[in-house]
Structure 1
């Protein structure tokens, strides 16, 4: 199979032939197919939809209710006397008026807000360090996160990867994410720092072998 038969974003080495989740070089040695930029974009969009749904449902149950409390503030007349809104309604020409000031009460939102912030962190860290090696979005796109040796990543490595992605790769003009399109092994900044790869897997299985450098 020619290299042109690969879908865009596979990032396969030149002169390779397709295999079960990898390609074979001219000497028959298997080489990994690195997940390209657009495959990872689609996976992230799927994960974003899932996370948005989870956050919406979770927020409905744990976020504090917003309440508006109205406080009456009487406005005195020239004599210094005041009347409330009930008195105003009963008078044809009231001497004084009062106004209602709204006060928004939300209760304690710090703990629920912290729990909501932990949802995406736990989602990416636990899924990518699990035996699935991928979030649901990556699984649907047949992608897996591995170490540089093709092994399952640890929780610690997954945590480092997520933190760099959330605090550096995305916030700083998405430069760390755009690096996927230009680096040799299709690695973002978070992959380079955490020592991870995102590979294209056939039937959600990655064959472990020595990576061709």
Structure 2
């Protein structure tokens, strides 16, 4: 594919940082407003319905929706990255997206080595990518400059 390359560790890490800012605004601010400071400093693991919704269900649904609709989360979109099927380069299936989401947990277990592997692998696949059959590609093509001829 012309004007594309596999997305490496640092650009993907940057996308994660952008996503964390978005998540803080969309999910963590409401949790703080609902449960107060106790949500963050207390010993309680589960705080109720809204905790379940904003901490687990909505992030799952929204992430899968972004992957299927836009080929990536807001952070990946901002950095011109796309998550695609590793064999065809086409859109993920619903099964791949769900598998990739839960494979993040598996990739984190061995001291985050499943993520660090992105920096070593020739196709820049983390363990979660390998398990789901996905790759993350980077769009290199720049948009040409266009001027209004009528001005």
TM-score normalised by structure 1 residue count: 0.57
CA distance 1:65–1:35, shift in 2 (3 Å):
closer
Q: How does 1:119-198 map to 2 (within 5 A)?
A: 119-130=58-69, 132-148=70-86, 149-165=88-104, 167-198=105-136
What is aligned with 1:21? 3
Q: Which has the higher helix share?
A: 2
Establish whether residue 111 from structure 1 lines up as the match of residue 83 from structure 2: no
What is aligned with 2:41? none
SS of residue paired to 1:184 = coil
Q: Which runs of 5+ in 2 are unaligned?
A: 39-43, 143-151
Choose the corresponding residue for 1:42, options 14, 26, 32: 14
Q: Which runs of 5+ in 1 are unaligned?
A: 1-18, 23-32, 67-105, 205-213
Q: Which has the higher strand share?
A: 1
Report which of the two structures shows the higher radius of gyration computed on alpha carbons.
1
CA distance 1:62–1:155, shift in 2 (3 Å):
farther
Query: CA separation in 1, counterparts of 2:55 and 2:141?
Result: 33
Choose the corresponding residue for 2:137, options 190, 195, 199: 199
Query: Is contact 2:27–2:55 with CA below 8 Å preserved after alignment?
Result: no
Query: CA separation in 2, counterparts of 1:136 and 1:60?
Result: 22
Q: State the number of aligned residues.
A: 135
What is aligned with 1:30? none
What is aligned with 1:102? none
> What is the CA RMSD across the aligned residues, in angstroms?
2.6
TM-score normalised by structure 2 residue count: 0.78
Give runs of ≥4 in structure 1 deviating > 3 Å. Answer: 60-66
